[in-house]
Each structure stands twice: as C-alpha cells, then as structure tokens.
C-alpha cells in the first residue's frame, strides 16, 4: 500500500518505520522544512526518536499535497490539540487524493472546548473519507525496534476493506485486531493518560506498590463507568485500547504521563513541568473529561481529585488522603 503518516513525532516516526519495513511505500510528513531536512540527512529523527535509523527508501516531506496523490491510507500522528489544524491542512489538498480510502487517527485525547474525539474532528472537517483509529499500548521506541506489539484498528462499522487494512498493517512484530467500537477505543486512549498521571503521583509520593495497584484497579473501574456513560461498550475497555493501554502507560518508564505525575508527587509544581514543553496528553484530557463528567452528572472521584491537583493547586498527598477517607462501599457498587 501507499501510506502517508502526517506528524513526525516519536509515534508517527515509529509507525512509518514499521510500515516501510514490511514493504509499503511510506511517506512521513512533518510541518517544518528544517525538520524534514535534518531527518533526510541523519536518516533518523534525532529530535524525537534518537538512535532509531530508518531505511533510505522511506520518503520524508514537509509538503503534504504531493504525498497524497497516490496515498491509500493517511495516518494522523499529531497531538490531539493540533488535530483540527492539521485536518484543515489536509482538507486543502484532499481533492486530488483519488486513491485515499481511510484516514486513521494515531492520537489520544479530546479537543478542549468542543470535547470531541479525534474521529469526530476528522469526520467534521473531512466528511467524504472514512475515518478510524489505530490505538493500543505502544512505546514508540519498541515499535521502531520491531519488538512485539499489539494494537486495535477501530472503526464505527464493519467494512469489507477493514480486513485488507488490518492485514496490511499486521506482521509478526505488530499484531492488529479489529473492533467496531470507535467511541470506546478512543475514550480508552484518552482516559488511560489521565490515570497514568495518578499512578505516577503514587510513585512520586513513595506511598508503595499497594497504593499504586489499588489506584490502577479502581481507575480501571472508573474508566469503564465513564466510557460506557459516554457511549463506549464495556468490553472495549477490557481490551488493548483500554486495560492494555492503561497498564502500559501506568508502568512504562517511557510514559510521559506517568513521569509527569511522578514529578508532581515529588513536589514539582505543575506549571514548571508544563514549561518544559513536552506533550502530556493527560493534562489537557483531565480537564476535558472532568468537564464532560460534570456536565452529565457522572461520578468519577479519582478523575475529580486529579483535576484538583492539576488545576486547583490541591496537594497530591491531600488528594490521596481524601480518596482514602471516602465512605466505604461494596467493591462492585455502581455508585
């Protein structure tokens, strides 16, 4: 297949490397000309994925339009807060993309203000192309190295083409499953970043493995409750895009959301961490999901305490104390 990956961060670069390695014609598109030049010269993305060299046959561009002419799949590997801008960029050139069959989101997060999921933004701006998501527990460096990984290809409904896309992306190092709960898959990818910050806080406070295990388990319970209330299917959250991604992001040393939370637990102020300029999707997503839960009357105590830590200056230790002193109840209570 001819595949374009828009967004040359760590994850976009790693996915492009995987696709090129299994025989596809791949073009990685960045919006900065100097970044494209640097990658062409170094044959690596030293800015975001240092030490992982890609094959010289992989094409690198900063111009989108010519890359779309033969593309069958467009993958949007941009931060969620930049997705609308990049979709508008695509909309200017998509008329000449006669072979384009699907646009897949690789990002995880909700748009501030509108609270829309990635596929909703793509469908709004690019209504004439089918949209989906490729999501799950992924560390870019491991995908770049070809280490075993599993993902889900999520769409809103069954299509005869889905198996074609699945087989085209799948190989012995990256296993792809299909699901038709796009809402649940995207919400799982959003929510796990929020709770990974909480897991990091536990680690930063040094309050023990028991506390972290309890936090992750109760977060999973809350994640399902929120996800189902917002239109996802319960079983989706127990799969790769939910539970799998939650475990990876809460425990991976590479996780920016987990390390962000760990620094908060150690006493670093949230504003000082944000000044470092790293993409921490869970920070923005916490506010988006909190607003959505408040609007719809969804009870989410862990999410609420994380919101207070991130946006209301509540101390992490105080937030943990307040969670531990909530009224006791049966474990499987729905309230």
Interstrand relation of 59-61 and 25-29 (parallel, antiparallel or unpaired): parallel
- Phi/psi at 75 (5° precision): -105, 125
d(CA 116, CA 99): 27
DSSP secondary structure, 218-245, as one string: HHHHHHHHHHHHTT--GGGGGSIIIIIH
192 labelled catalytic: yes
HSE-up of 201 (CA within 13 Å, CB side)?
28
- Tell me the residue ranges of DSSP E strands in the chain: 2-6, 25-29, 44-45, 49-53, 59-61, 73-76, 102-105, 131-135, 149-154, 174-179
Contact 262, 256 (CB under 8 A): no
Exactly one of 108, 192, 233, 287 is catalytic; name it. 192
Token representation of residue 160: 């005869």
Identify the bridge partners of residue 103 per DSSP, sorted by sequence position.
74, 131
Pair 108, 135: CB distance under 8 Å: yes
Evaluate whether 6 touches 12 at the Cβ level (below 8 Å). yes
d(CA 182, CA 104) in angstroms, rounded, equals 11
Orientation of helix 83-91 relative to helix 118-125, angle to 10°: 30
Active site residues: 192
């Amino acid at each position: 297949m001819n595949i374009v990956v828009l967004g040359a961060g760590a994850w976009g670069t790693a996915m492009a490397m995987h696709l090129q390695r299994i025989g596809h014609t791949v073009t990685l598109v960045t919006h900065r000309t100097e970044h494209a030049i640097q990658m062409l010269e170094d044959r690596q993305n030293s800015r975001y994925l240092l030490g992982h060299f890609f094959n010289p046959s992989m094409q690198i561009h900063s111009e989108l339009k010519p890359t779309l002419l033969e593309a069958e799949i467009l993958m949007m590997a941009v931060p969620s807060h930049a997705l609308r801008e990049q979709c508008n960029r695509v909309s200017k050139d998509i008329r000449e993309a006669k072979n384009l069959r699907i646009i897949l989101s690789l990002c995880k997060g909700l748009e501030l203000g509108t609270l829309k999921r990635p596929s909703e933004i793509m469908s709004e701006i690019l209504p004439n192309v089918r949209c989906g998501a490729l999501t799950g527990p992924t560390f870019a460096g491991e995908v770049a190295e070809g280490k075993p990984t599993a993902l889900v290809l999520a769409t809103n409904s069954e299509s005869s083409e889905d198996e074609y896309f699945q087989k085209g992306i799948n190989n012995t190092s990256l296993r792809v499953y299909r699901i038709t709960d796009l809402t649940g898959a995207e919400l799982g990818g959003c929510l796990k970043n929020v709770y990974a910050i909480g897991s990091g806080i536990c680690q930063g406070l040094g309050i023990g493995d028991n506390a972290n295990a309890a936090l992750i388990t109760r977060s999973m319970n809350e994640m399902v409750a929120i996800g189902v209330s917002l239109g996802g299917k319960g079983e989706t959250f127990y799969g790769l895009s939910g539970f799998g991604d939650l475990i990876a992001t809460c425990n991976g040393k590479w996780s920016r959301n987990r390390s962000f939370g760990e620094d908060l637990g150690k006493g670093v102020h949230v504003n000082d961490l944000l000044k470092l300029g790293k993409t921490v999707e869970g920070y923005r997503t916490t506010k988006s999901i909190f607003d959505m839960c408040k609007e719809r009357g969804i009870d989410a105590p862990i999410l609420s305490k994380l919101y207070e830590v991130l946006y209301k200056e509540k101390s992490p230790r105080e937030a943990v104390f307040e969670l531990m002193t909530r009224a006791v109840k049966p474990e499987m209570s729905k309230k």
